[in-house]
Structure 1
Amino acid sequence: MRFLHLGDLHLGKSLGDFDLIGDQKYILDQMLAVIRERTVDAVLIAGDVYDKAIPSEAATNLLDYFLCRLAETGVKTFLISGNHDSDDRLNYGSRLFQDNQIFISSVFRGELEKYTVEDEQGEVDVYLLPFVKASQVRHYFPDAKIDSYDDAVRVIIEHAHLDRQKRNVIVAHQFVAGRSEDPVLAGSESIGTQSVGLVEKISYDCFDPFDYVALGHIHSPQKVGREEVRYAGSPLKYSLSEVNHIKSVPLVTLGEKGKVSVELIPLSPMRDLRHIKGSIRELLDKKHVQSPEDFIYATLTDEEIIGDAMGIFQQVYPNTVKIDYDNSHTREIEQVDLSHIVENKSFSELISDFYQLMYQCEISEEEMDYMKMAAREAGVIHETE
């Protein structure tokens, strides 16, 4: 039996000011081609289907398109929610979807949902575990000792009463780590995961009863602990931290019990995401310009700030996402010990000092007003400041 393992689609996501719906449809069509060409039996989608809890109309239309194409191929689709998804929105119409072999688990209701599929080797039990927090699991198992996400997942699996003689697959969306090291993080998930410390971390040996573990939540494709516990990773590069990733989808073949093989099928985006560095003259020299339609993060090494650098860059690279600087001024800022600088200084004084250090000139009153307005909206300062 062959499974295609997908995760972290983040439909509706943008890159800076650029809409990625066209890029996402392009990569989904590649996956559909793989499904047809490699005779895939089932698709596992491991959460973060949408980028936002309230997805855009374009994002919901794209998911509708993808699910309809999957149904047309005749494959079974198993889909769970991630921490970015809205349980209710993702679950809408799920009973109707089952008629087209699309099985959705968007919220944990006290037990692992299980579906059984068959091939010439016999039955395969597919378990669906949407993103859960320890507090949700305590509600269903008040007598169990649940102090962490790891405890919570172990309790869920213990109460699932798996038949270990059968082939078992689970789709989950959690932060799963090895015994001695954490998975390689990237994008928004790296910030969120690092902020919660050890409480959210789940050891991969929680999933020992399963022949294959299809994970979502981390954007970097990788195995965790053993080959059969794996993050598919996001299908596109969604942040600068992913610029060196080689995006792929795992094609998982289940033979008889205990025989699992994983083939990583590379994905080719419509537009790549690249990071380029140098002076503006060097980077925009015709002999150095390549693939101008790619998304570009540019780091300028010029000592002086370039006026309207973004406008200049976008004449050559129209999809430039961000420009920053790496020069003597920025390196000086990085080395500054801020602990004594910020003492007894007002917001205005701090902003003025930073502006002077960065641009070697005074900030204007209009610019300062904009900074204060943004700070008030963010709750950094109060209305009277």
Structure 2
Amino acid sequence: MRFLHLADLHIGRQLAGFSLLDDQRHALAQVLDLACATQVDAVVIAGDLYDKAQPSAEAVALVDWFLTGLVERDLACLCVAGNHDSAERVAYAGELLRRQGVHVSPVFGGSLDAVTLDDEHGGVTFWLMPYLTPTRVRPFFADEQISQDPNQALAVVLATCRIDVSARNVLVAHQFVVSGGSQTLRSDSELSLGDLDAVDAALFDDFDYVALGHVHRPQRVGRDVVRYAGSLLPYAPSEIRYPKSVPLVDLGPKGEVSFELVELEPLHPMRELRGRLEELCDPAVVGGLSDRDRQCYAFVTLMDEHVPLGAPERLRRVYPNLMGVSFGDPADRAFSGDLPRPEDPGVKDPLGLFEDFFASQNGTAPSDEQRAMMREALARAQGPEGSDA
């Protein structure tokens, strides 16, 4: 059994005011081509098909185009709902879709849906687990006294599956999974409850492959066969540093699993640029840029000693897809794509953090009036002892 493992498509996502629908269609077209070229039997989507619970008409149309492409190529699709999209909307017309080979997780009702696909070695059962929390699980297991521990909740759900461990089983899930003391690497574009929503990968030891979604960085969790596919595109500057790929998974006879990661080529590469305004806009530098370089989604950190007037407008003439401008310490700050956190060494005071955040969101520094309003708000929040803010 050969399949592609996708996750976190977030169809309909916008970033810094830019619609990413064209970028998403470009990536999904590559997936369709890859599915044909590698002769897969199925495509798995491990949650967050949409970016919102109420997706736009354009987002729904793009998903329709992609699923239709799978059906036209006689490929099965196995899809679960995530924490961004709506389980009810993802499951809409589920029976009709199932007859076309598109299997979507129903709204959770106390057990997991299972779909068995056959190959030359027998059946492979795909267990579809939509995004679950103790609150969603508890109403169906009144006698279990389920706490707020997601490990307990998922253990109760998995106990209902009656998995035949002598056969081949694949779990499709959208959860935050960790393994022992190892760290699962997240990005700042993911909704997170810290580690309160973490579940142990040991819960999934009975499965031959665990197709995970929810974390945007491709990685394994414990065993090689417990994997996050990662998001379809980079959805934050912190996701630039690792390439986006699709796991191509081969299930042979029981116990034989192999995979390779196939990289996707983005329509617009996302890049971090750092330097002084005059350097970044220097005609000699600009003249050496390719059209693809100029059309990238650019996050710029200016290292000028003073904030240059009209900086975003000048940068946009070079990089029309400018997504953000922030201002670094010209002496030694190395831009990481993230705002400083309180525990970071050398962190700024609250007013400095506000100025950084304002600039990253608006492409310009706050005005004197806006700074004064922020000082007043800080003073009120801190009380009499904070009058020196």
The TM-score with structure 1 as length reference comes to 0.86
Kept in 2, the 8 Å contact 1:133–1:149? The answer is: yes
Determine the structure 2 residue equivalent to 1:78. 78
- Shift of the 281–115 alpha-carbon distance from structure 1 to 2, 3 Å rule, reads same
Aligned counterpart for 1:326 among listed residues 319, 325, 328: 328
Quote the Cα distance in structure 1 between the aligned partners of 2:365 and 2:205.
59
Which amino acid in 1 is paired with 2:168? R
What is the CA–CA distance in structure 1 between the aligned matches of 2:91 and 2:167, rounded to whole Å? 29
Shift of 1:198: 3.5
Runs (4+) off by over 6 Å? 358-362, 368-372
CA shift in 2, pair 1:77/1:360, >3 Å: closer
Q: 2:269 aligns with which of 250, 253, 272?
A: 272
CA distance in 1, matches of 2:262, 2:332: 40
Q: Conserved in 2, the CA contact under 8 Å of 1:81 and 1:131?
A: yes
Q: Distance in 2 between matches of 1:43 and 1:304?
A: 51
Alpha-carbon displacement from aligned partner over 1:225-281 (angstroms, at most 9, x marks no partner): 011000000111110110111110000000000000011001000110000111112
| Equivalent residues, number | 355
Q: Is the 8 A contact 2:250 2:258 kept in 1?
A: yes
1:70 alignment partner AA: L
Offset at residue 361 of structure 1 (A): 10
The answer to whether the 8 Å contact 1:187/1:219 transfers is no
Q: What residue in structure 1 maps to residue 337 of structure 2?
A: none
CA distance in 2, matches of 1:251, 1:72: 20
Give a deviation string over 1:119-148, Cα, whole Å, max 9, x none. 000011110000011112121112225331
SS at structure 1 position matched to 2:8 = coil
The offset of 1:293, in angstroms, is 0.3
The structure 1 residue matched to 2:198, chosen from 187, 201, 204, is 201
Counterpart of 2:300 (choices 273, 298, 301) is 298
Residues 8 and 48 of structure 2 are in contact (CA less than 8 Å); yes or no, is this contact kept in structure 1?
Answer: yes
- Distance in structure 2 (CA, Å) of the matches to 1:268 and 1:354: 35
Mapped contact 1:47–1:82 kept (Cα < 8 A): yes
Aligned pairs for 1:147-186 (under 5 A) are: 147=147, 148-186=149-187
- Distance, in Å, in 1 between the alignment partners of 2:117 and 2:366 is 68
- Residue 273 of structure 2 aligns with an amino acid whose one-letter code is I
Give the Cα–Cα distance (whole angstroms) in 2 for the partners of residues 108 and 361 of structure 1.
47
Check conservation: 1:145, 1:151, Cα contact below 8 A. Answer: no
Which residue of structure 2 aligns with residue 383 of structure 1? none
Residue type matched to 2:321 in 1? Answer: N
% of aligned pairs identical? 40
Structure 2: runs of 5+ lacking an equivalent:
334-339, 382-389
The verdict on how the C-alpha distance between 1:138 and 1:321 changes in structure 2, with shifts beyond 3 A counting, is same
| Residue equivalent to 2:213 | 216
Q: Is contact 2:217–2:231 with CA below 8 Å preserved after alignment?
A: yes
Residue in structure 2 matched with residue 250 of structure 1 by the alignment: 247
Residue 259 of structure 1, aligned match among 256, 271, 275: 256
Is residue 365 of structure 2 the alignment partner of residue 363 of structure 1?
A: no
Structure 1: which 5+ runs fail to align?
343-349, 381-385
Tell me if the contact between 1:107 and 1:131 (Cα under 8 Å) persists in the aligned partners.
no
Secondary structure of 1:312's partner? Answer: helix
TM-score normalised to structure 2 length: 0.85
> 2:355·2:365 contact (CA, 8 Å) conserved in 1?
no
After the TM superposition, which residues 1-385 of structure 1 pair with which residues of structure 2 at under 5 Å, given as runs? 1-147=1-147, 148-189=149-190, 192-193=191-192, 196-289=193-286, 290=289, 291-327=293-329, 335=346, 338=349, 363-364=368-369, 367=370
CA distance in 2: counterparts of 1:98 and 1:369, whole angstroms: 59
**Structure 2 counterpart SS, 1:143:** helix
Q: Secondary structure at the match of 1:188?
A: coil
Map of 2:386 onto structure 1? none
